[in-house]
A and B are shown apart, each in its own frame.
Chain A
C-alpha cells in the first residue's frame, strides 16, 4: 500500500510532471506474490522434486553400465528421439545424459506451462474479470501491471533454475556435476522466460484469459513438435524451438552455453511488442475483437441432446486428436520393441508374464490398456461438466423448462459414453494402422480396433462412478478421480514394479481381456457393463431426488 500512497510524490517528480507509466509496479508485485504465495512454491517444488526424484529413480533402475546402454538403445530410434530428445551422449549413456535426453524436454514443457498459466492469471484474466479496471483507475501506470507480472513470473523462473541447480548439484549422483546442473537449471529458466514473453503477447491479443492461455499453450505444443521433427531429421527445425535450444546445450555431455543466448534475444523482442501494444490499447480490449455468432439456434442445438453435444464438442474433438497422435506414436514405436526390450532384464521378465505370442503383440496389448485408462480421464472430465453446469447456475433455467432432470443428465451421459467409444475406436485404429507398417502386419488395424473397443465397458464403469457420485454425493464428486488415477498408476507401473494381482483386480480396466495377445472372453465385459448400469441407475435416481445446488 505504501507505493500507492507515495505515488503522487513519485508522479510529481516524474519527467515533465506527467508521472511514470510504471508507477505502482512495486505494490502490484506484492499483491501478485500474496495471491500466489502457495501456488508458486507448489509449482517450483513439484517440478524440482519431480526431476530429482526421477534422476534418483534412474540410478536404482539402471544400476549397471550395461543396463544404461540398453536404455540408450531404446532412445536411439526415430520414435525414441521424437518422443524425448535428440540423443546426445548415447555411446556413454551416463545418468546425466539420461536426464538431458529424456527428462529435460518434458520438464521444459511443464516450466513453459507454469509460466503461461501464471502470467495469464495475473494479466488477461484480471482484465476479463474487471479487477484490472479497478487497479488501473488508481495511481497505477499504464505499463505497471504487465511489468509487475513479468517480475513475478520471471522471478519464479529464475528461482526454479536455482532450485534445480541446488537439488541436482547436491544430489551426489554420479556424472551430475554442479557446473552442468547450473546449465540444466539455466536452460529451464531460459525456456520459461521465452514462454513468459509469449504469454505477455497473447495476453494482449484476445479479450479472454482462457483464449490467451490457450494460444500460448498452442505455442508450447508447436515448439515441442518442431523439436521432435527437427531431431528426427537432424535438420534445422529444432533451432526454431525454445525447447530445442535447451536440448542442444548437450548439458551433462558437452555443456554448451551459447545456444541459450537465443532465449533472451527472442524474449526481449516479444516483450517489446507486448509493451507497445499494452501502452496503446484500451483496458479490457484485445487486438482481436470477440467474434460474433449466429443470432438464432438452428435445429439440433435446440434439443437437449444437441445442446449437450455442443457443450462437449470442442473437448471431444481435442481428445480424439490427442489420443490419435499418442496412438500413432506408440504404433511407430512398435517396430523397435523387439530389439529395444531385448536385453533389458527387468522389462523382459515383466513381458514374459503377459499373454500373447511375440513381443510386439504383448507390447501392443499393454499400450492399448494404458491408453484406455487415459480415455477414462476423458470420461471423468466430461462427466464433471454437468456438475459445473449445475454449480454455475446454468442448469437452473434449463431445468425450469420442460426438460426433466433425468433426460438432461442422460444426454450428457450419452454424449460422453458415445464419445469414449469413438475415442477408443480411433485410438485403436490409428495405433494399429501405424503399427501395421512398422511391424509389417496388415491385419493389425482391425485387431487393434477390436482390442481398444473391448475397454469400453471399463470406461462405462468409470462413468457409472462419476454419475453415482453426482446423484448421491455431489459434493464428493472429485472422488471419481481416484478410480482413474488408480487405474492409470496400476496399469503403467503395476507390471514393471510387480504389484500383486489383487491390486490389478481392483481396477475396472484390469478385468478386460488383453487383446491382441489374449483370447477374447465375454463374461468380464458383461459383468462390467452390468456394474456400470447399476451405478448409473443409482446416480440418476439420486439426482431425481436431491436438491439442485443453487447459488
Chain B
C-alpha cells in the first residue's frame, strides 16, 4: 500500500485449486496503465482462470488480487463499470438478436457509444438482426467484441478474442486494439496466436502450469535471450564453439550459423571479421522461440525433438569435420 502508482491489474502469489488440480500456483501479473499486455500460454496453463478471478467470477484461494487498486471480489460491481470483457467461448441467447445482446451487455455495464457501435458493426461486417442461435462461432465472437470495444471502458480484458475469426477480421481486430491503445486504454490480451501478440503487445507474460515464468517488454526479453547470427566468410570459421555465450553452431564451408547470448555479441563479431566477413544477418529471437524455450521439455515429452539438444549434436559434428 506504500506504492504511489496503482496499476490497473496487480496480482501476486495467486492460488486457485479445483478439487485436486492446482490451476494457479502462485501467479504474479502486473499490467500497467495504457499498455497492451500479452498473456501467453497453452490451453490449461491458467490464463482463463486468472481472468475469471480478476472478474470475480471465481474466488481466489490465496494471494493478492487488485483491480484498479480495489478488491475485485468485494467491489465487483463498481470495478466492472471500468472493465469490458470478451470471453473465449461466447454463447448467445438463442432468441435475442446479436444487436440486442450487444445493447444488453453494454447497458448493464453503463452504456455505450452508439455511433462507435455502428462503426464497429460495419467494420466487423456483423449482421445484428440475426437471432443468437443463427450465428456461427466467429460471428458470436464478433458480437462480444463489438459490445466490448463500443464501450468506454478503461480496461479491456480479452480472453482469446479472435478464435474463429478469419484473417480479414483478425486484421480489423488488430486495428481496433491499436486504436484502443492510442486512446489510452489498457488491454489484457490472452492469446496463443504469437504473431498477434508480437504485433500488438508492449509487454508479455508467459504462463506455465499456473505460474508466470517470464514477464517483461518484448525488447528486453529479446535482449536477454539469444540472437541467431548467420555469417558468410572467405575462410571457414574455426574455434567458435570455445567462445563464451555461443551455442548451436552449424558450420558449413564458408557459412556459419549460431545462437549467441545478447551480452557477448561484441566479442564474437570481431572474431568473425578475422575470417574475412562478407555478409552478416542478425535475427533477434521470435516470440515463438521465447515461448518454446519455456515449453521445450513439454514438447520433448510429446515426442517432438527438442531444438537445442539436436542442434548441439549436429554442431559438434560440424566442428569435427
- Which chain A residues have a beta carbon within 8 Å of chain B's beta carbons? 207-208, 290-297, 301-304, 307, 310-311, 314, 392-394, 396-405, 545-548, 550-551
Given known contacts A297-B103, A393-B87, A546-B59, A403 and B97 CB-to-CB distance under 8 angstroms? no
Q: Are B59 and A400 touching (Cβ within 8 A)?
A: no
Q: Which residue from B76, B93, B95 sits with its C-beta under 8 Å from A404?
A: B76
Kindly list 6 other residue pairs between chains A and B, CB separation below 8 angstroms, not including A397-B87, A401-B105: A293-B97, A294-B129, A302-B104, A303-B108, A311-B93, A550-B57
B residues 40-58 touching A (CB-CB < 8 Å) = 48, 52, 55-58
Answer whether residue B99 sits at the interface, using C-beta atoms and an 8 A cutoff.
yes
A293: chain B residues within 8 A (beta carbon): 96-97, 99-100, 129-131
A392: chain B residues within 8 A (beta carbon): 91
Answer whether residue B271 sits at the interface, using C-beta atoms and an 8 A cutoff.
no
User: Which A-B residue pairs are the 9 nearest by beta carbons?
Assistant: A297-B103, A302-B107, A292-B129, A295-B99, A297-B100, A400-B85, A293-B97, A401-B108, A401-B109
Q: Which residue from B80, B86, B101, B133 sits with its C-beta under 8 Å from A401?
A: B80
Q: Are A396 and B87 touching (Cβ within 8 A)?
A: yes
Instruction: For the complex, give the distance between the alpha carbons of A290 and B97 in Å.
Output: 12
Q: Which residue from A295, A307, A393 sits with its C-beta under 8 Å from B104?
A: A307
Answer whether residue B289 sits at the interface, using C-beta atoms and an 8 A cutoff.
no
B81: chain A residues within 8 A (beta carbon): 402
A303: chain B residues within 8 A (beta carbon): 107-108
Instruction: For the complex, give the distance between the alpha carbons of A307 and B107 in Å.
Output: 11
A394: chain B residues within 8 A (beta carbon): 91-93
Instruction: For the complex, give the distance between the alpha carbons of A307 and B269 in Å.
Output: 67
Answer whether residue B290 sits at the interface, using C-beta atoms and an 8 A cutoff.
no
Q: Are A402 and B80 touching (Cβ within 8 A)?
A: yes
Q: Are B97 and A292 touching (Cβ within 8 A)?
A: yes
- Which A residue's beta carbon lies closest to that of B98? A295
Instruction: For the complex, give the distance between the alpha carbons of A390 and B312 in Å.
Output: 52
Given known contacts A307-B104, A400-B85, A291 and B93 CB-to-CB distance under 8 angstroms? no
B102: chain A residues within 8 A (beta carbon): 297
Whole-angstrom distance between the Cβ of A124 and the nearest chain B Cβ: 13
Given known contacts A293-B129, A294-B100, A397-B144, A402 and B92 CB-to-CB distance under 8 angstroms? no
Answer whether residue B261 sits at the interface, using C-beta atoms and an 8 A cutoff.
no
Interface centre among B81, B110, B130 (most CB of A within 10 A): B130
Answer whether residue B233 sits at the interface, using C-beta atoms and an 8 A cutoff.
no
Q: Are A292 and B104 touching (Cβ within 8 A)?
A: no
Q: How many residues of B contact A (CB 8 A)?
A: 45
- Which A residue's beta carbon lies closest to that of B56? A399
Instruction: For the complex, give the distance between the alpha carbons of A399 and B57 in Å.
Output: 7
Answer whether residue B170 sits at the interface, using C-beta atoms and an 8 A cutoff.
no
Q: Are A400 and B131 touching (Cβ within 8 A)?
A: no
Instruction: For the complex, give the distance between the alpha carbons of A301 and B90 in Å.
Output: 20
Q: Are A403 and B129 touching (Cβ within 8 A)?
A: no
Instruction: For the complex, give the distance between the alpha carbons of A393 and B48 in Å.
Output: 13
Instruction: For the complex, give the distance between the alpha carbons of A547 and B52 in Å.
Output: 10
Whole-angstrom distance between the Cβ of B186 and the nearest chain A Cβ: 16
Whole-angstrom distance between the Cβ of B27 and the nearest chain A Cβ: 17
Given known contacts A295-B97, A402-B81, A301 and B57 CB-to-CB distance under 8 angstroms? no
A546: chain B residues within 8 A (beta carbon): 59
Instruction: For the complex, give the distance between the alpha carbons of A387 and B28 in Å.
Output: 32
Instruction: For the complex, give the distance between the alpha carbons of A547 and B19 in Å.
Output: 13
Whole-angstrom distance between the Cβ of A217 and the nearest chain B Cβ: 18
Q: Are B52 and A550 touching (Cβ within 8 A)?
A: yes
Instruction: For the complex, give the distance between the alpha carbons of A516 and B247 in Å.
Output: 93
Answer whether residue B83 sits at the interface, using C-beta atoms and an 8 A cutoff.
yes
Answer whether residue B128 sits at the interface, using C-beta atoms and an 8 A cutoff.
yes
Q: Which residue from A296, A311, A399, A547 sits with its C-beta under 8 Å from B99?
A: A296
A207: chain B residues within 8 A (beta carbon): 134
Instruction: For the complex, give the distance between the alpha carbons of A550 and B18 in Å.
Output: 12
Instruction: For the complex, give the distance between the alpha carbons of A400 and B52 in Å.
Output: 9
Answer whether residue B89 sits at the interface, using C-beta atoms and an 8 A cutoff.
yes
Whole-angstrom distance between the Cβ of A317 and the nearest chain B Cβ: 13
Answer whether residue B77 sits at the interface, using C-beta atoms and an 8 A cutoff.
yes
14 A-B Cβ contacts within 8 A?
A292-B130, A292-B131, A293-B96, A294-B99, A294-B129, A297-B99, A297-B104, A301-B104, A393-B87, A397-B85, A397-B87, A398-B108, A401-B110, A545-B59
A297: chain B residues within 8 A (beta carbon): 96, 99-104, 107
Instruction: For the complex, give the distance between the alpha carbons of A402 and B84 in Å.
Output: 10
Q: Which residue from A301, A311, A400 sits with its C-beta under 8 Å from B80?
A: A400
Instruction: For the complex, give the distance between the alpha carbons of A398 and B52 in Å.
Output: 13
- Which A residue's beta carbon lies closest to that of B117? A296
Q: Are B93 and A403 touching (Cβ within 8 A)?
A: no
Q: Are B103 and A302 touching (Cβ within 8 A)?
A: yes
A294: chain B residues within 8 A (beta carbon): 97, 99-100, 129
Whole-angstrom distance between the Cβ of A489 and the nearest chain B Cβ: 34
Given known contacts A293-B131, A297-B100, A550 and B58 CB-to-CB distance under 8 angstroms? yes
Instruction: For the complex, give the distance between the alpha carbons of A304 and B92 in Å.
Output: 16
Whole-angstrom distance between the Cβ of A192 and the nearest chain B Cβ: 29
Q: Are B128 and A295 touching (Cβ within 8 A)?
A: yes
- Which A residue's beta carbon lies closest to that of B57? A548
Instruction: For the complex, give the distance between the alpha carbons of A354 and B51 in Å.
Output: 60
Whole-angstrom distance between the Cβ of A545 and the nearest chain B Cβ: 8
A404: chain B residues within 8 A (beta carbon): 76-77
